[in-house]
Amino acid sequence: MSGSVITGWGTALPEKVVTNAEFEARLDTTDEWIVERTGIRERRFGGMTSSLAVEAGAAAVTKAGLEPSDIDLLILSTTTPDKAVPATSSTVHAQLGCSGAAFDLNAACAGYVYALVTADAMLGARIGFERALVIGADTLSVITDMEDRGTAVLFGDGAGAVVLEHHEDAEPLMLASDLGLDGSLLPILYCEHGGYLKMEGKEVFRKAVRVTVDSAAKVLADAELTGDRIALFVPHQANVRIIDAMLQRLGIPPERAALVLDRTGNTSSASIPLALSDAADAGRLSDGDLILFSGFGAGMTWASAVVRWGR
């Protein structure tokens, strides 16, 4: 028996706080509408994807009691890379001083769960990797049209990261995982090079509830679990009404959800590690607890995993 263990976690948020009142002042919207329809009260704007990723990655490595040079696999989940070439993970790798391999992964807002599953599989394959740094970082403010009330109020910038270490005597990290995509749904959420995000909000909402509930229900069934066995539910932070629908349909007690959406908005790849870190820092996790991760995003992608916390 061998497996990987989450040994560190960390986050980064830009300093600039943007409240709903700031949108109310210049768009045809209200704080009341935004809070009621999305659950978002404020978000952060600023930084670059690489700078946020470096800050979150450094914090996670320190928390794990490691040096960056101990990391031999770096996966950066992002949909807003600094440059077209090279991958932003190259910048992050150099600035942190990591060893070994690094690459970017883009599965939109489901990317962080895709990256966790990939890192765990690569450590488990015993192909030369011992310690992975899995970062989710995005600067969606760069690709959001700040004049479009339908999208401007939803997104924010940030980063979150975890360290995974392989141990010969650990139980498997993942009890079950599910990664998927329906490419026919591309037209409901996309961004052209040099353009802004285009979204059919209502359609994304409807499809997101369906695909995430199906995917999360599948991993629970594969792991032979029911929702009440989940100690912490870490959903993609896009809309509190989507999260509430998932909790209800999966039979997970609402107080088990990790939520940062009210303070961060939708930070894409960063949302799941931001919520996980917030819960871990608040002492909400104990060794052996089962965590359900579930994300969805443009593509339309989805990803769920049941993960064991600690050893």
Sheet holding 301-308, edge to edge: 174-181, 301-308, 290-297, 232-235
Q: By CB under 6 A, is residue 153 in contact with ligand COA?
A: yes
**Cβ nearer to ligand COA, comparing 3 with 111:** 111
Which member of 17, 33, 46, 167 binds ligand COA (CB under 6 A)? 33
Examine the residue annotation and report whether 20 is marked as an active-site residue of this protein: no
Examine the residue annotation and report whether 109 is marked as an active-site residue of this protein: yes
Residue 309 CB burial class (10 angstroms; 0-12, 13-18, ≥19)? buried
We find the least distance from the C-beta atom of residue 183 to ligand COA, in angstroms, to be 16
How far apart are the C-alpha atoms of 62 and 174, rounded to whole Å? 24
Q: By CB under 6 A, is residue 149 in contact with ligand COA?
A: yes
One of 109, 167, 191, 239 is an active-site residue; which one? 109
We find the least distance from the C-beta atom of residue 107 to ligand COA, in angstroms, to be 11
Residues 236 to 265 in contact with ligand COA, rule: CB under 6 A: 238-239
- Bridge partners of 177, per DSSP, are 305
Which member of 46, 100, 150, 180 binds ligand COA (CB under 6 A)? 150
Residue closest to ligand COA when measured from CB atoms: 201
Closest CA to 136 of 217, 74, 209: 74
Per-residue contact flags (x/-) with ligand COA for residues 287 to 306, judged by CB under 6 A:
----------x---------
Q: By CB under 6 A, is residue 49 in contact with ligand COA?
A: no
We find the least distance from the C-beta atom of residue 46 to ligand COA, in angstroms, to be 20
How far apart are the C-alpha atoms of 41 and 264, rounded to whole Å? 8
How wide is the angle at C-alpha 219 spanned by C-alphas 215 and 222, nearest 5°?
135
Please enumerate in sequence order all residues whose Cβ is within 8 A of that of 30, keeping only pairs 6 or more positions apart, or say none.
20, 24
Q: Quick one: which segment of 1-9, 136-144, 197-205, 272-280 binds ligand COA (CB under 6 A)? A: 197-205
Q: By CB under 6 A, is residue 206 in contact with ligand COA?
A: no
Q: How many CA atoms lie within 13 A of 229 on its CB side?
A: 14
Closest CA to 231 of 255, 201, 202, 265: 255
Examine the residue annotation and report whether 266 is marked as an active-site residue of this protein: yes
**Cβ nearer to ligand COA, comparing 167 with 241:** 241
End-to-end CA distance of the chain: 12
Known catalytic residues are 109, 236, 266
Question: Which residues of the chain form contacts with ligand COA (CB under 6 A)?
Answer: 29, 33-34, 37-38, 109, 149-150, 153, 189, 199, 201-202, 204-205, 208, 238-239, 266, 297
